[in-house]
Structure 1
Amino acid sequence: MTGNGSCGIPGGQYPSDCEVTEGLRQRAMSRSGQDERGYAWRVCLPRAKEIQLLLLDVDGVLTDGTITYGNSGTELKSFNIKDGFGIRLLRESGVEVGIITARRSEAVERRAQDLKLAHLYQGVGNKIEAFTEILAAQKLTPQQVAYMGDDWLDLPLLSRVGLAVTVADGVAEVKAVAHYVTRQAGGRGAVRELCELIIEAKGQREELLARYLR
């Protein structure tokens, strides 16, 4: 491989560090392109482009729905690291993220702090009230908000947001109202998939990816 005149030394016998990095970048771009995305993904891009805030349920979305109790009665939850990094990337793109959940857990509070989430509503019986409060505080319209849920409790909110999303193992009634159903299950990368959808819709995928290939 020889230099190309703009990256490395022209005529060199081996690729320069610059050329290697550029090759990796191009391969990563290709692997993450639309050729791996389905029709539903492409159809949702216009909706996703308008999103300024992503709200998430917890059990069955950020987790796989399993609840474990320790010997002391403490509730334990497991979170997916790829979901967490997807949220970080989404925040870097300018979209805030929050949680609205019917249950209350110290583990969720800690996870929200770790991810620097803008909103955390726990023990919420009526998610619409929390949603309305957030809209007023942030001066957003429902069309600028995405929500991901997986069960009946999420139906009222899913029917009001600009981008309604559920996980691969969400219940049938939720899938029926969702604009997009992820390929991944809850707690297994579904949130990361949604974050990437919004990032791609805003045309920021390549810019964000390039930051990690320097």
Structure 2
Amino acid sequence: MPQPLQIGLLVFPRITQLDMTGPLQVFSSLSGAEIHLVWKRIEGVPSDTVLSIQPTTTFADCPQLDVICVPGGYGTDDLMCDAEVLDFLRRQAGGARYVTSVCTGSIVLAAAGLLTGYRATTHWSAIEVLPILGATISRERVCIDRNRITGGGITAGIDLGLTVVAELADRRTAEAIQLRLEYNPAPPFNAGSPETAPPEVLAMLEDRMKVARQARLALARQVAADRR
């Protein structure tokens, strides 16, 4: 009997829950997969909403994963300097078939040195961090470079999950999951990217994000300097 696929998603304080729950729903539809929500301790982890997420295993008890997925969220800035998290990701990446991320999860992979020399994508507001940490920018919604698969911002987690399933199984399996989820986006507004959003909406959001973006860039430069 074949061994079940081991798929793990990192959870952490101030995670954007949709970054995680989108691919989680997709992965949970894959027959023969065991899904793990991984954190340092088994205790509720606060997201960036009222939702708290319960890990299912710890770093110490987590099996070797076939797929490791790092979601994004405001908490990823802290993870960039968290030696315990970065060491866990490096250990898992060494034996994983696929190393993946959603949104700003890719900057955590990059901080761990796991995207050096790879193309990768992330949320549009963090894209300039990637080259500081050794990755090459891709603006694809889902970027595949060898066994690194990275997704863009937040809702791209569903696309990331379906892409990974197609790699693990086949396209028909991924399409069947897409159909079961009725994932057939038809957004009410054409404002889902910097290229399509009205200029005044983009300017408003960029102004709100300015301080956080500058702080993240400074942090990334410090992480890169410390690695030299």
TM-score tier by shorter-chain length is 0.3 to 0.5
Larger strand share, 1 or 2: 2
TM-score using structure 1 length: 0.45
Q: Going by fraction, where is helix more abundant, 1 or 2?
A: 1
Larger RCO, structure (CA 8 Å, separation 6 or more): 1
